[in-house]
A and B are shown apart, each in its own frame.
Chain A
Amino acid sequence: MNISTLKLLRSMGLTLLLLILLEVITATVLPLIGIEDYQIPFNILIVLYLSFKLDSPYLAVLILMVQFFHSLFSIESWAIGTFIGVLISRIIYLFKETVQFFAFPLVIFVVQGCFFLWLLFSSLFLYFQNGPVWSRIWIFIPESLMASLLAPVLFLVLERIWKQDEEASLRGVG
């Protein structure tokens, strides 16, 4: 295990702790202040951040870990989230060289676009399982908008966790 791998594990551990903290807050504090119909999908935001920022070949494993920990707080199957997460990370991989996050509005715009992709894939999955999914779309839209608006802040926090310098680049871990 080299330094980069250690750094990857340490950063992932911190990211999972952050996810757990955010899941606990959304499951306990938000309903008490009257927000019980919507939940901010922080797990998707973290998957998107990792997909945009990380060049590690272990990205799919990290997505699996995020979705597994998310499934501890939700009955949403880890499998669907992982499948969609890996698919979207592949799509992002193709385009990420052309996207540079130099301004907050751009982050919000790009994240919202990715959320629509996520909605498309998850709706397809749930359609095959349960039939029409129109009602979900009207809840997903405000949820994804809230998440997109929060994305720049969360990405800044994640940026600190995954801070990459030249000598400990995550590229080529292993």
Chain B
Amino acid sequence: MDFSDFKNNRLRLGLDILILAISLYGVSQWSGKYEKVSPAKSFFMTNFAAIQQGVTSINHKVSGLFNNYLANIEASKENKFLKNKIADLENEIFDFEELAKENKRLKQLLAFGRKQTKRPILSQIVGWNSSSNFKVLRINKGLEDGIRLQSPVVTSKGLVGYIYRLTDHFADVLTILDPNNKVDAIVARSRSHGILEGYEKGKIFMKYVSNVVPVILNDLILTSGLGNMYPKGVRIGRISKIERESYSVTQHIEITPSVDFGNLEEVIVLILPDRNKKEKEWEILNRPLKLGSKN
């Protein structure tokens, strides 16, 4: 080994240790709940997402051309179906708003008075990331369209996920198929609680449901509204498999989501306009009390 090799090895070892330390710091900062995007990352993401959007739209156009002019069979039916879907989505939003109003009235009666009017933002999917670790989709609306971190994302069929990462014009949605996305849910019929967690091949687990709770196949699962992220009563899916072990205290419940993630093209992001106000309220409540001050 000559002197330059020795120097290179030392440099490499030093850089390896430095990068390992930086990445360990990065790991410690990673919450898995949401990610605040740096300006540099935002710049790259916005530009690459625009490319993704372009490629997706070219793909859609090519397949549209094929459907309309070459196959020329299903196009008009699809159009009708999409229009119906939009009408369904509007109905669903109306239902959500009605629920929010009812909620508001009840809370006013109880003097809790918290406003929860949701503003729907229709978005198109421009890309998917479905590696073994994460199930994420990218939509074409961002901060400038009013979307906020951790806003719930739905379709007329049910819950999709929440906004995990945000740039000015695009956002990443962590879907309910992702094991990192835990959703507090209830069985619509028995009102029993459980935690949902993404599993594999488009299925979701419902955890922590006691063995004595009577659940049956095809039971509807809804969001519970706990956790202050998802609105209460949004459809998630139906029970497709139940396993009860004699030695276990909980049941093994598998849910098939209502949303067909394979054919998802548009989603609705629900915005709570008063989220900042809420955060400020929490901040004030969490401030330590100044004891012993004279004024």
**Known: A77-B27, A130-B32, A143-B131. Is A72-B20 also a contact (CB below 8 A)?**
no
Judge whether B164 and A75 touch: CB under 8 Å: yes
When each residue 23-51 of chain B gets 1 if its CB lies under 8 Å from chain A and 0 otherwise, what string results? 11111011010010000010011001001
Contact-residue bracket for chain B: 35 or more
Residues on B with beta carbons closer than 8 Å to the beta carbon of A31 = 128, 130, 262
| A96 contacts chain B at the CB level, 8 A cutoff | no
Judge whether B19 and A36 touch: CB under 8 Å: no
Q: List 18 A-B contacts (CB under 8 A).
A: A20-B51, A24-B48, A27-B52, A29-B59, A36-B128, A38-B132, A39-B128, A58-B12, A59-B15, A60-B12, A61-B19, A64-B19, A72-B45, A79-B23, A79-B30, A87-B20, A138-B200, A174-B8
A3 to B32, CA, bound (A): 42
Q: Please report A residues at the B interface, Cβ cutoff 8 Å.
A: 20, 23-25, 27-32, 34, 36-39, 41, 55-61, 63-64, 69, 71-80, 82-83, 86-87, 89-90, 122, 125-126, 129-130, 133, 135-140, 143, 171-172, 174
Partner of A57, one of B11, B26, B32: B11
Does more than half of chain A's interface fall in helix, strand or loop, or is it mixed? Answer: helix
Judge whether A60 and B179 touch: CB under 8 Å: no
**Residue in chain B with minimal CB distance to A80:** B27
**Known: A60-B16, A136-B179. Is A27-B27 also a contact (CB below 8 A)?**
no
Q: How far is the CB of B133 from chain A (nearest CB, A)?
A: 6
| B273 contacts chain A at the CB level, 8 A cutoff | no
**Residue in chain B with minimal CB distance to A122:** B133
**Residue in chain B with minimal CB distance to A139:** B132
Q: Please report B residues at the A interface, Cβ cutoff 8 Å.
A: 4-5, 8-9, 11-12, 15-16, 18-20, 22-27, 29-30, 32, 35, 41, 44-45, 48, 51-52, 55-56, 59-60, 63, 126-134, 136, 138, 164-165, 172, 174, 179-180, 198-202, 261-262
**Residue in chain A with minimal CB distance to B126:** A28
Residues on A with beta carbons closer than 8 Å to the beta carbon of B41 = 71-72
Judge whether B45 and A32 touch: CB under 8 Å: no
Partner of A130, one of B11, B35, B164, B180: B180
Residues on A with beta carbons closer than 8 Å to the beta carbon of B9 = 57
A23 to B48, CA, bound (A): 10
Partner of B63, one of A32, A55, A83, A174: A32
